[in-house]
Amino acid sequence: MNKTLIFFARCNLGLATLLLSGCVIASGDLRIDNVPMYGQPEIERPEELKRADEDFIKQASEGLGGREKASIAWWLQGDKFMSEGNLDYAMRRYNQSWLLNPNSYRAYWGFGRVLLERGQQDESLKHLEKACQLVDDEYQKVALFADTATVYSVKAYRTSLDNINERAKYFSLANKYYEESIRLDPSYPNSWRSWARSLFFEGRYADAWEKIRKARSLGAPEFPPQFIRALDEKMAEPK
């Protein structure tokens, strides 16, 4: 077991009291550690939890070689839980990553992803936009911008058909972020794949086929058959 995993194992025991102290109910049945930034600044952090936060930061920083390294390690743990579909545990790890480095884009990216899965697209966009403002890693910008584009596309799709201007605004923002993601790395297949779906919902069928061909040429995972059938019904694939 490597140093990081050993620390996590020890930390989960040694900091159990500190972590459980974050289980205060924010509203209804929602635990405060399942809310981005523990609900701050809207929900004031009690003094005992502030002290617990400071103890956590000290132990995590000492155990993993500094606050920045510790923040990344907890963020990666959040991503692991995210990939397993465990949204609550993912949010808790992203919160701890944020405690360790409140100015890192990573935690805000994590918040946005969890909130989207919970159906809170407006809140998701707030945190993703914050991540886009803070990101300082050209490599990570590619996926972050694609994720942000996807949420704008979802918001556009869920906006009433009667609200033409709002739908157009959100699709325009989605396209802007997809374009930037592609500009940074034209070989990233997920951007092309996601953009194709967005363009279908926007009603730009020829453009959607174009993005599908590009995604396929880059070895992207196969598109769902039902999506291809739906697009083909709107417009047959150009030869």
CATH, domain range 137-239: 1.25.40.10
pLDDT of residue 158: 93
| Mean pLDDT computed over 53-75 | 92
pLDDT digits (tens, 9 = 90+) for 198-218: 999 999 999 999 999 999 999
Confidence of residue 58 (pLDDT cuts 50, 70, 90): very high
Q: What is the pLDDT of residue 209?
A: 98
Phi-psi region of 46 (alpha: psi -120 to 50; beta: other; left: phi over 0): beta
Q: What angle do CA 32, 33, 36 make, to 5 degrees?
A: 90
Where residue 33 falls among pLDDT bands split at 50, 70, 90? confident
pLDDT in the model for residue 160: 93
**pLDDT value at position 239?**
84
Mean pLDDT of 52-80: 92
Tokens of 51: 């002290």
Give the DSSP letter string of 54-123: HHHHHHHHHHHTSHHHHHHHHHHHHHHHHHTT-HHHHHHHHHHHHHH-TT-HHHHHHHHHHHHHTT-HHH
Q: In this predicted model, what pLDDT tens digit does every residue of 118-147 receive, in sequence order?
A: 999 999 999 999 999 999 999 999 999 999
9 band by pLDDT with thresholds 50, 70 and 90:
very low
**Mean predicted confidence (pLDDT) in 27-56:** 86
Band (29; pLDDT cuts 50, 70, 90): low
Res 16 pLDDT > 70: no
pLDDT at 19: 41
Output the pLDDT for position 8.
Answer: 46
Q: Give CATH 1.25.40.10 domain extents, the chain.
A: 137-239
Q: Across the chain, what does the average pLDDT equal? A: 89
Give me the mean pLDDT over the 18-40 stretch: 66
Long-range Cβ contact pairs of 150-157 (< 8 A, separation 24 or more): 150/174, 150/194, 150/198, 151/112, 151/116, 151/121, 151/124, 151/125, 152/125, 152/177, 153/194, 153/197, 153/198, 153/201, 153/202, 154/116, 154/121, 155/121, 155/122, 155/125, 156/201, 156/202, 157/201
Tell me, what's the pLDDT at 17? Answer: 36
